[in-house]
Chains A and B, each alone.
Chain A
């Protein structure tokens, strides 16, 4: 009796329990770790977004310029030509005596890794190369967390947001199934939600039509269009290029209704923002201040008095949904870099369902076919191989479920490959065992030599495929990765079930086979050979 349970059989039984146990939630949709279906199988929206890291750097310089402007004004330091570009921030100091004051202001920036170059009274500020690289990476990370945040608040189930390569982000949204939803999700994700308060250049604004680009630049101004109502832009406004304050100082945004019961978004600022806002409005009564969102002017009301409290409103011709999406976008923070859609894939729910049906039919059909083959050809040895094959499949699904891996169509291809290799392993083993039996070896001998010889070849071929799939996983992109993942898991599972497991089976039932000696029943060999085998053994 103690020979029935051997180490190999125990390993196989453990694999069986483990495989079935962890695969069941995926099949029955019960609680527990489940396999995630790729978008190609269940439908949804997949977006590959390029992150404009250069733009982010530019914005960073702009915000440095903005804070310098504020600090210089506070301390009455006169500078000329303060501007920012992709190359950095530069300005010219008018009074050499203010040098000490400037140094004090710049000290904090220097600590943050900003390099400062001076020639005479000209200052140039720039991030060091390493700092700039780090900033770009940080931008991507920030973009990812912002998108996640937005999607969470939007209430979409199981969104995936991942970094791809150096400066791209992959967003996958299952369950998006209408064009309207797709549009809305895309807008929400890609909206940069960059809120700025900007001063209108009242003196020059009326001559706007006569100014050239060159002159506008020299004035330190920018021209921005109105957001327009009902999709139509009307006119432009001349604004001071350096904003009064930035969306970074925003603490909350909510949808409220104005007196005409139209939805508007109200926002509040943090203490620093509120102070800047209050100071500016106090000094500029009678002038206009523009609420600018993503480089479009939403409103530019006249300042009637100092505005304390630090809150404001964005009014546009919003629908409730638009206003609520904008509030979400503002709350979850500004995207520090613009996003470009590099790749967009939409898979309708009906196609996803078809794909699942198709692959399951093909997989089960193929499985039944293989099992019928194996059992017809190898009789009981075929049954053992089939059991190993089924456990193999459960194991693949169980392992994928535990790691929360995603099953895609190429992943299915990987499963087909490993199922084929598992079948192959059993065929090789059975053929080797038959060879031994034909040489009139006893069943025990034939099994032993069969497994010994077959394992070497199977091990070599499986290991080669495994090495290849590891490399494909490490260096490949999306779908190649999916393929490599299922292949790797499948190969490991097949070594466990098709080689170790089946051998355990034979060890356990060897006494029975040796006594019974019906080779046709056990190994599907024709009587003629088994007769000879028996007579030879006698």
Chain B
């Protein structure tokens, strides 16, 4: 089976102007959402407790709320989780609960048979530390990737790949607000995975562009990019589709346990594919990448190498 029998060169650079405009709008919208609506921080970062309770019959959500209110708990949120037998009870930090599991058991006892399937209590200090360490490791990882791409390719390409990566992570992270998912460690895992994919995708295309720049005798960068993106298109689509379907399986069969991972990742795969085709090459051009100069530099480098070779040969010759 073959998707495209022949490489048809599509003028992606023409479309990428629109892509850039769309992305700019999207990024502004995302920033707006983050600023005005903000993330719903989960217990991992905000601290507090969350209990996942499964009843043997239908969970009486209204009664659960009332029971907690009567027990002098304030700010408790109760919501259905997955099936109608299961609920998630969120208890904010504030009152110190020494033995929350016993207390919950006591409060819910009159409401029927149940099982506490999960109970997370996180102190505020831990959340802060997670935030700091998470951000630090992320920043270091991104810097290191940038350095590597910069050394292997060109600094504008490195910067462009990081711009694409930030674009993808920003949109993915914001999707969490739209889908009303709490920002927890699963979401962070999703964003990390996405960063892996995004950089992978971008490098594959950049590698092809570099190959085109070195082999095609033209100074028309747009042509080189179009050619490179077009010839990697099958691979880009195929890879993204496989990943997308694997995630879809995870989303459909993973019930609600993994929703914080699979849903943002589904969005991220689409955005990541789009950005490596339409955004990353465009940004490299915007940053002032110039093919003519690149060729000159390459020529100089080659000449230098030749010169060195010549000198070494002379030297060896002289000694012999």
A and B assemble together: yes
On A, residues with C-beta under 8 Å from B are: 48, 50, 165, 179, 182-183, 341-348, 350-351, 354-355, 358-359, 361-362, 365-366, 369-370, 373, 376-377, 409-410, 413-414, 416-417, 419-421, 423-424, 427-428, 431, 434-435, 438, 453, 456-458, 460-465, 467-469, 471-472, 474-477, 479-480, 483-484, 487, 524-526, 528-529
Query: Contact mask B77-108 → A, CB, 8 Å, 1/0?
Result: 00000000000000000000001111001000
Contacts of A344 in B (CB 8 A): 100, 119-121
- Whole-angstrom distance between the Cβ of A99 and the nearest chain B Cβ: 47
Name B137's contact: one of A361, A428, A475, A487 (CB within 8 Å): A475
Name A526's contact: one of B2, B126, B138, B142 (CB within 8 Å): B2
Residue B235, interface by CB 8 Å: yes
Contacts of B241 in A (CB 8 A): 373
Provided the pairs A421-B196, A453-B211 are in contact, do residues A409 and B246 lie with their beta carbons within 8 angstroms?
no
Residue B117, interface by CB 8 Å: yes
Residue B125, interface by CB 8 Å: yes
Would B189 and A410 count as touching, CB distance under 8 A?
yes
Would A479 and B185 count as touching, CB distance under 8 A?
yes
Would B117 and A165 count as touching, CB distance under 8 A?
no
Contacts of A370 in B (CB 8 A): 242, 245-246
Provided the pairs A431-B234, A477-B134 are in contact, do residues A413 and B102 lie with their beta carbons within 8 angstroms?
no
Would A346 and B101 count as touching, CB distance under 8 A?
yes
Closest B residue, CB atoms, query A457 = B207
Provided the pairs A464-B199, A529-B5 are in contact, do residues A457 and B253 lie with their beta carbons within 8 angstroms?
no
- Contacting residues of chain B (122-147) with chain A, CB-CB under 8 angstroms: 122-123, 125-126, 129-130, 133-134, 136-138, 140-142, 144-145
Contacts of A183 in B (CB 8 A): 99, 101-102
- Whole-angstrom distance between the Cβ of A61 and the nearest chain B Cβ: 26
Contacts of B188 in A (CB 8 A): 479-480
Closest 6 pairs between A and B when the two form their complex, measured CB to CB: A366-B246, A457-B207, A475-B137, A351-B117, A468-B141, A362-B250
Query: Contact mask B9-42 → A, CB, 8 Å, 1/0?
Result: 0000000000000000000000000000000000
Would A428 and B235 count as touching, CB distance under 8 A?
yes
Which of B140, B186, B232, B249 gathers most chain A CB within 10 Å?
Answer: B249
- Contacting residues of chain B (163-207) with chain A, CB-CB under 8 angstroms: 185-186, 188-190, 192-193, 195-197, 199-200, 203-204, 207
Residue B285, interface by CB 8 Å: no
- Whole-angstrom distance between the Cβ of B155 and the nearest chain A Cβ: 15
Name B199's contact: one of A376, A413, A461 (CB within 8 Å): A461
Contacts of A475 in B (CB 8 A): 133, 136-137, 140
Distance between Cα atoms of A366 and B7 in the complex (Å): 29
Would you list 13 pairs from A and B whose C-beta atoms are within 8 A, ordered by A residue?
A48-B126, A50-B125, A362-B254, A410-B189, A414-B193, A420-B243, A421-B200, A431-B234, A461-B207, A465-B200, A468-B196, A480-B137, A483-B189
Would B204 and A461 count as touching, CB distance under 8 A?
yes
Distance between Cα atoms of A475 and B135 in the complex (Å): 10
Residue B294, interface by CB 8 Å: no
Contacts of A465 in B (CB 8 A): 196, 199-200
Distance between Cα atoms of A484 and B137 in the complex (Å): 11
Residue B152, interface by CB 8 Å: yes
- Whole-angstrom distance between the Cβ of A375 and the nearest chain B Cβ: 10
Would B54 and A350 count as touching, CB distance under 8 A?
yes
Name A472's contact: one of B119, B141, B149 (CB within 8 Å): B141
- Whole-angstrom distance between the Cβ of A237 and the nearest chain B Cβ: 25
Would A435 and B231 count as touching, CB distance under 8 A?
yes
Name A410's contact: one of B186, B231, B234, B255 (CB within 8 Å): B186
Contacts of A350 in B (CB 8 A): 54, 115, 117
- Whole-angstrom distance between the Cβ of B93 and the nearest chain A Cβ: 12
Contacts of A182 in B (CB 8 A): 101
Contacts of A525 in B (CB 8 A): 2
Closest B residue, CB atoms, query A465 = B196
Could you list 7 further interchain pairs (A-B, Cβ under 8 angstroms) beyond the known A361-B253, A416-B193? Answer: A344-B100, A346-B118, A354-B255, A355-B257, A365-B249, A413-B193, A480-B134
Distance between Cα atoms of A344 and B231 in the complex (Å): 52
- Count A/B pairs, Cβ under 8 Å: 224
Name B123's contact: one of A342, A460, A463 (CB within 8 Å): A342
Would B123 and A419 count as touching, CB distance under 8 A?
no
Which of B6, B190, B196, B232 gathers most chain A CB within 10 Å?
Answer: B196
Would B125 and A345 count as touching, CB distance under 8 A?
no
- Whole-angstrom distance between the Cβ of A481 and the nearest chain B Cβ: 9
Residue B73, interface by CB 8 Å: no
Name A362's contact: one of B203, B238, B249 (CB within 8 Å): B249
Distance between Cα atoms of A181 and B255 in the complex (Å): 29
Closest A residue, CB atoms, query B136 = A475
**How many residues does chain B have at the interface if contact means C-beta atoms less than 8 Å apart?**
76
Contacts of B148 in A (CB 8 A): 463-464, 467
- Whole-angstrom distance between the Cβ of A359 and the nearest chain B Cβ: 7
Distance between Cα atoms of A253 and B9 in the complex (Å): 83
Residue B274, interface by CB 8 Å: no
Would B136 and A354 count as touching, CB distance under 8 A?
no
- Whole-angstrom distance between the Cβ of A38 and the nearest chain B Cβ: 12
Name B197's contact: one of A361, A417, A483 (CB within 8 Å): A417
- Whole-angstrom distance between the Cβ of B13 and the nearest chain A Cβ: 21
Provided the pairs A463-B148, A476-B137 are in contact, do residues A362 and B253 lie with their beta carbons within 8 angstroms?
yes
Which of A346, A376, A462, A483 gathers most chain B CB within 10 Å?
Answer: A346
- Whole-angstrom distance between the Cβ of B161 and the nearest chain A Cβ: 9
- Whole-angstrom distance between the Cβ of B145 and the nearest chain A Cβ: 5
Name B246's contact: one of A419, A428, A467, A526 (CB within 8 Å): A419
- Whole-angstrom distance between the Cβ of A28 and the nearest chain B Cβ: 24
Contacts of A348 in B (CB 8 A): 115-118
Which of B145, B200, B253 gathers most chain A CB within 10 Å?
Answer: B200
Would A358 and B118 count as touching, CB distance under 8 A?
no
- Contacting residues of chain B (19-78) with chain A, CB-CB under 8 angstroms: 52, 54
Distance between Cα atoms of A427 and B239 in the complex (Å): 7
Contacts of B247 in A (CB 8 A): 366, 416
Closest A residue, CB atoms, query B262 = A362
Contacts of B3 in A (CB 8 A): 377
Provided the pairs A351-B52, A487-B196 are in contact, do residues A416 and B126 lie with their beta carbons within 8 angstroms?
no
Would A423 and B235 count as touching, CB distance under 8 A?
no
- Whole-angstrom distance between the Cβ of A153 and the nearest chain B Cβ: 23
- Whole-angstrom distance between the Cβ of B228 and the nearest chain A Cβ: 11
Contacts of B119 in A (CB 8 A): 344-346
- Whole-angstrom distance between the Cβ of B246 and the nearest chain A Cβ: 3
Closest A residue, CB atoms, query B249 = A365
Distance between Cα atoms of A370 and B231 in the complex (Å): 22
Distance between Cα atoms of A435 and B230 in the complex (Å): 13
Residue B258, interface by CB 8 Å: yes
Distance between Cα atoms of A371 and B250 in the complex (Å): 16
Would B242 and A369 count as touching, CB distance under 8 A?
yes
